[in-house]
Structure 1
Amino acid sequence: MTKATGPGFRPTHVVPPHGMPAWEAPDPGRPTVGLDPLLPVRLVERRGDWGRVLCANGWAAWVDGRHLVAVPADPPAADGPAGTDDPRPLLADAERVLADYRSAVEELAAGTLDGEDFHDRTEGLRIGIVVDGESVWLYDPRQERWTYGDGRRLSTYATDRAPGREDDTGHAATRLVAPEGER
Structure 2
Amino acid sequence: MTTRGFHPTHVVPREGLPAFQTPDPSRPATPLDPLLPVQLVGRRGDWGRIVCANGWSAWVDGRLLVAVPQAPPRAGAPPAGAADPRPLLARAEEALARYRAAAEELAAGRLDAESFGERTRGLRTGVVVDGESLWVYDAEHERWAYCEGARLTTYAATGQLSAGAENEGRQPTPLVPRTPDGR
TM score, norm. by length of structure 1 = 0.60
Q: Structure 2 matches for 1:8-157, cutoff 5 A?
A: 21-23=14-16, 43-45=36-38, 66-67=63-64, 68-72=66-70, 74-77=71-74, 78-79=76-77, 81-157=79-155
Identity %: 48
- Kindly name which structure, 1 or 2, has the bigger radius of gyration based on alpha carbons: 2
Inter-CA distance 28–99: structure 2 relative to 1 (3 Å threshold): farther
Equivalent position of 2:175 in the other structure: 176
1:46 positional shift: 6.5
Once the two structures are superposed, what CA deviation does each residue of 1:67-101 show, in whole Å capped at 9, x if it has no partner? 303311x1123435435311111112111111110
Structure 1 Cα separation of the partners of residues 132 and 91 of structure 2: 19
* Aligned CA-pair RMSD: 4.0
Unpaired segments ≥5 residues, structure 2: 1-7, 20-27, 41-46, 53-59, 178-183
Structure 1 Cα separation of the partners of residues 157 and 99 of structure 2: 24
> Which stretch of the first structure deviates more once superposed, 93-102 or 126-135?
93-102
> Does the 8 A contact of 2:10 with 2:37 survive in 1?
no
1:117 positional shift: 0.5
Unpaired segments ≥5 residues, structure 1: 1-10, 36-40, 54-62, 179-183
Would you say how many aligned residue pairs link Structure 1 and Structure 2? 145
Once the two structures are superposed, what CA deviation does each residue of 1:104-131 show, in whole Å capped at 9, x if it has no partner? 1111111111111111000010101100
Aligned residue for 1:121, secondary structure, equals helix
Once the two structures are superposed, what CA deviation does each residue of 1:14-35 show, in whole Å capped at 9, x if it has no partner? 89xxxx54249979998x9xx8
> Does the 8 A contact of 1:134 with 1:151 survive in 2?
yes
